[in-house]
Amino acid sequence: MNNLILRGLLCFGILYSCFISPQVFAASSDLNDNGTPDSLENEVLVLINKTLPAGEYTFNNLIISSSSILTLEGDSESTEVFKGVKINANNLVVEVGGGISADRKGYSHGTGPGNTGNFSFQSGASYGGVGASFGGTIYGSATRPVDLGTGSGTNFGGGAIHLVVQNNILNNGVVSADGGGSASGGSLLVETNQLSGSGEFRAKGGGYSSTSVYYSPGGGGRIAIYYSTSTFSGVVSAGGGCGSLGMGYPFVCGGAGTAGLFDRTDNTLKTNGWRFQKNDGAFVLNKIFITSASVDVEKDASVTATEITLDEGSSLNFIDTAVFNVNQVFINNNSSLVSSGKENFSAQNLVVAGGSTVTVLSQNTLKLVIPNINISSDSFITVDQKGYELGGGPGAPLPYDPENPSSNAYLMGASHGGIGVGNTATSTYGSETEPVDFGSAGHGGNAKGGGAIRIISENFVNNGTVSANGSANGSGGSIYISSESITGVGTFSAN
- CA-to-CA distance for 325 and 305, rounded, in angstroms? 6
For residues 438 and 450, is the Cβ–Cβ distance under 8 A?
yes
Q: How far apart are CA 46 and CA 4, in angstroms?
A: 69
Residue 356 predicted with pLDDT over 90: yes
- Give the mean model confidence (pLDDT) for residues 96-123: 86
pLDDT, tens digit (0-9, with 9 covering 90-100), for 308-341: 999 999 999 999 999 999 999 999 999 999 999 9
**Tally of helices (H runs) and strands (E runs) in the chain:** 0, 37
Q: What's the gap between Cα 38 and its chain centre?
A: 40
The mean pLDDT value for 16-39 works out to 76
DSSP for 403-466 reads T-GGG-GGGPPP-SSSPPTT--TT---S-SSS--PPPPB-SSTT-B---EEEEEEEEEEESSEE
Position 119, amino acid: F
CA-to-CA distance for 264 and 118, rounded, in angstroms?
Answer: 42
How confident is residue 61, by pLDDT bands cut at 50, 70 and 90?
very high
Q: Which one, of 262, 342, 359, lies nearest residue 17 by Cα?
A: 262
Average pLDDT over residues 75-81: 94
State how far the Cα of 197 lies from the Cα of 173, in Å rounded to an integer.
Answer: 8
Residue 26 CB coordination number (10 Å): 12
Q: What is the pLDDT of residue 178?
A: 98
* pTM for the whole structure: 0.91
pLDDT at residue 118 in the model = 56
> 270-317 pLDDT, tens per residue?
999 999 999 999 999 999 999 999 999 999 999 999 999 999 999 999
Q: Residue 405 has what pLDDT?
A: 54
Chain centroid offset of residue 260 CA:
11
2-11, 47-56, 376-385: which range is least confident on average?
2-11
Check pLDDT > 70 for residue 16.
Answer: no
| Mean pLDDT, rounded, for 246-254 | 83
- Check whether 64 has a pLDDT greater than 60: yes
Helices (H), 4-93: none
Average pLDDT along the chain: 92
